[in-house]
Structures are given as structure tokens and as C-alpha cells.
Amino acid sequence: MTIKEIVRKYTNQLKLVTHIPAKEVEILIMHLLDKNAIWLHLNYNQEFSKEKELEVLVKKRATNYPLEYIINKASFYGEMFIVKEGVLIPRPETEILVENAVEILKDIKEPIKVLEIGTGSGIISVMLAMLIENIKIIAVDINEKALALAKENAIKHNVLEKIDFRLSNLYENVNEDDIFLTISNPPYIADDYKLPQNVKFEPSNALFGGVVGDELLKDIIKQTNDKKIPYLLCEMGYDQKTPLENYFKEFEVESYSFYKDYESFDRGFTLKFKK
């Protein structure tokens, strides 16, 4: 069978798990052949020799198993990152968090130190290291597997010398007193929230933030204030704007702003503490 016929044959099996089933079959074919989209469409009428391998992957994807874990990669901010089971999959909306940090950091000439809490696959720290020239980043996580993966991504994108990866629960192993900005996409989902099927394959400790969901966010806000770090940028849940805005009142805050994601849900904030 040709690639074109194979795509048509297996598309039906993925219609219940994705809105782009044909595209995902193509992605799996490219993964098996180690080819790109240009090659695929130039060779659409060529015979396909790996149908048995493809059938296994399609069946796995049909269980709602994430595509990114199957192909071990995900696109973020226009770059390709390594993804592995046991570490949170990058989300497009986190690009906005990176953009907000870049907006603050881009015009600062002197060397700058940034902390990322909960680095996961390292996408935020790696992108900041790529986009900001004079930056040093401390990237912490409680998951050793995540830290190992984040280092792989830093090496892949040639920024390892800019990032200090550490095993740490929030600020536990961070004693520096010259951090200018903390950034985090922490777990912020309430413990009893019923996850979509595909998300259940991702690590729960990277998703659930407590009984209410914002407990970890509030810990980060308080500890960042205690450390006298000027800026804090965080992603948050769509329903957490009001309780977090009320929580800000407990601190000496110079300014704050919230932002929405690509679906127009409240998704994060920038907080500047008074000096």
C-alpha cells in the first residue's frame, strides 16, 4: 500500500481521540521513517513498508495515549523539544508566559539571574536562555526524571552553560539573594478535578496543586516575597484570578496584571513586589 492509502486506512481509528486524525497518522509515519512533512508529501504515492509498526502506534494512540509520548517530541515556541513519559507535556499557552518574561528581561543590559520553579522538560528555561543573551538561570524540580530530561533539552539547544539544574522543592535548595525574577508553571488543578482521558497519562504531581488547586501558587507567591525577589510570573487555573488577586493584598505589591490564553481563559499573572 502507498503512504496515501495507509493514511486513509488508519485515519478512522483515531477519529474519536483527535480532531486531526489524518494529520496524526502522518506524524506517526514521519516518526517511523525519520522524515519531515516535505518528504512525506513528495512521496505520498510511494509504497509504505512499516505498516505493522504503524498499526501498533495507532492502536496505542487510540487509547488516548498522548502523541507526544509516542514520538518523544513536542513543538514549543517554534523549537522542537524532547518529551518523555513521566514528565509534563509542553502546552502552547505556556509560550505566553515566556513572552511576558522576555518583555521584562529583553532590555536589561547587566547580567541577570532568573529562577524557574518546576522546570519539567525545561522548555521555559531553555527558551529564556536562547532568547536572552546575558542570563543565568536556576531551574528546579522535585522530579529527577524531569531534571534529566530538561538537561537533555538544554544540551540539544546549546544552552546548558546558562542553566543550573537543581533538585529542589520550591526554594528549598535555592539560597541566592540576587534573583531578579521567578517564573513558574506549577501544578494548579484541584485534587478532585476529573481530568480528560489523554491527560491521565501525565504525572499527577505536575498537575494537581492541592484541595482548592491554588495552594502551591500561594506558597510560591509568599516565598518569592520572603526572598525579596522583584518579579514573579506564573501560569494559573482559569478560575483562580479572583482568589489570587485577593491574596496579593496580603503583600506589598507595586503592580500586577493577569493575561488570557489562546482560548481567552484567564491563564496567568505578572506580579511586581515593592522594593
pTM for this model (two decimals): 0.91
- How do residues 45-96 score in pLDDT, each as one tens digit? 999 999 999 999 999 999 999 999 999 999 999 999 999 998 999 999 999 9
Q: How far is CA 229 from CA 10, 73, 175, 178, 236, in A?
A: 52, 34, 12, 8, 19
The Cβ of residue 62 has, within 10 Å, a number of other Cβ atoms equal to 16
On whether the CB atoms of residues 188 and 236 are closer than 8 A, the answer is: yes
**Please, which residues have CB within 8 angstroms of residue 211's CB and are 6 or more apart in sequence?**
190, 191, 192
**C-alpha Rg value of the chain to the nearest Å:** 21
Say what the pLDDT of residue 187 is. Answer: 75
Domain spans in the chain, listed from the N-terminal domain onward: 3-63, 86-273
Say what the pLDDT of residue 201 is. Answer: 76
**Whats the size of the chain, residue-wise?**
275
Say what the pLDDT of residue 109 is. Answer: 84
- How do residues 233-255 score in pLDDT, each as one tens digit? 999 988 899 999 999 999 999 99
Give the CATH H-level superfamily of domain 86-273.
Answer: Vaccinia Virus protein VP39 (3.40.50.150)
